[in-house]
Amino acid sequence: MGSVRAYISAKGEKRYEVYYRDASHVSHHKRGFLTKKAARAYQAANEVAVENGTYVDPRDGLMTIEVLGRQWIEAHASIWKPSYRRSIDTAWRVHVEPEWGKRSLNSVRHSEVQAWVARLSKDKSPSVVLRAFGILKGIYEMAIEDRIVVYAPTERIQLPKKTAKRHVFLTAQQVQDLAEAAGYYRPLILVLGFCGLRWGEATGLLVGDVDFDRNRIIVSRSATKVGGRIEVGTTKTGNTREVSMPGLVAEALRQQAAGKSPEDLLFTDEHGGYVRQQSAAEGRRGWYAAAVKQSGVPRLRIHDLRHTAASIAISAGANPKYVQRMLGHKSAKMTLDTYSDLFDRDIDRVSDNIDHLIEQTS
């Protein structure tokens, strides 16, 4: 049991202080209560918390965000993809640690976090702001789970909303035109534009990942640029999937694989190494930017070829589940959310097909 005592402050005012013990029988002391009722309420709340195992030692909240932040990052290091870990490290170093690192966990107020988010949002993209905020939120979630603090100032923060980027879709003929203009990299463009692989998945393919007998590409790894080097790991979702190949793609890959062993990279740059990421942004140089210009197709990111593959598959009558598996989405809901407008365009075609079936049976 604890106790409540009265004392006279330095200003000569009557105040109350509380003495109590935690679950480990360590003594604690808090003073400054204006009334005995407030002091007894604090004492009772602590006794209940000790009894039901939810007590949080107020001294733990003196830990700095810098200390727990580094623990939080290291605790997730083996779970995150190398590229994601690098982006988190950058956001921590640039946006979170300078602002909050020296602050104790229990000293940060909700209004301060909201003001910080607002300041970042003026100059940074929603993606940058959300990543930085997510780090601070994750640190406080860990602190609550570890019973270091009882309150997280990151709750109910108003955040900037990411606006969906307008997808650029090529027609099947435009994909072929772009592939022809890419020359040496024609097979790679065909895989991206018709099979929907992510860039890292396509450039990480080995010859043995192509099953010509079953007309399938087995996607199980991804080659990602981290810093200045290429690191090979699992796919974004960590799952292996099989993607079917149109005949045009299969024929191009037969030629691409000719003379290579199953362990060789399917696609390489002109020096035999991994193909590096490309950009079609105005003023940029590279084989992809040159191919976009030469072919006359709309300027599009190389990632938009993945959206093009989805568009072509949907136009060919593919259902959401097939498109989900082709793209390696975690769920069909994600596929529908991303390409809902494309599926909506098929409503009339489906109705026409049903009318045709009815006519055949009547």
Tokens for 4, please give them: 């409540």
Residue 247: count of CB within 10 angstroms of its CB:
8
Give the torsion sign (CA, 90, 96, 98, 103).
Answer: negative
Backbone angles phi, psi at 222, to 5 degrees: -145, 135
Q: What is the pLDDT of residue 82?
A: 84
Per-residue pLDDT, 344: 63
pLDDT of residue 282: 66
Q: Which amino acid is at 314?
A: I
Q: What is the CA radius of gyration of the chain?
A: 29
Structure-token pair, residue 10: 């330095």
Q: If you search the block for the tokens 């989805």, which residue do you land on? A: 310
pLDDT by residue for the chain (362 residues), tens only, comes to 678 889 998 889 999 888 877 766 778 778 888 898 888 887 777 777 666 666 566 666 578 999 999 999 999 988 888 888 989 999 999 999 999 999 999 899 999 999 999 999 999 999 999 999 999 999 999 998 888 887 899 999 999 988 767 778 899 999 999 999 999 999 999 999 999 999 999 999 999 999 999 999 999 999 988 877 888 888 888 889 999 999 999 999 999 999 999 999 999 998 999 999 888 876 678 999 999 999 999 999 999 999 999 989 888 888 888 889 999 988 878 887 777 777 666 556 656 666 666 777 65
Q: What is the pLDDT of residue 287?
A: 94
Buried b (16+ CB within 10 A) or exposed e, 321-332: ebbbbbbbbeee
pLDDT of residue 132: 97
Q: Are 296 and 177 in contact (CB under 8 A)?
A: yes
Q: Which residues, 6 or more positions from 56, have their beta carbon under 8 angstroms from its beta carbon? A: 49, 147, 148, 149, 150
Smallest CA-to-CA distance from 107 within 65, 164, 166, 48 is with 65
Longest dimension (CA), the chain: 99
Strands (E), 200-359: 210-211, 216-219, 222-226, 229-233, 241-244
Backbone dihedral angles phi then psi of residue 260, each to the nearest 5 degrees: -105, 155
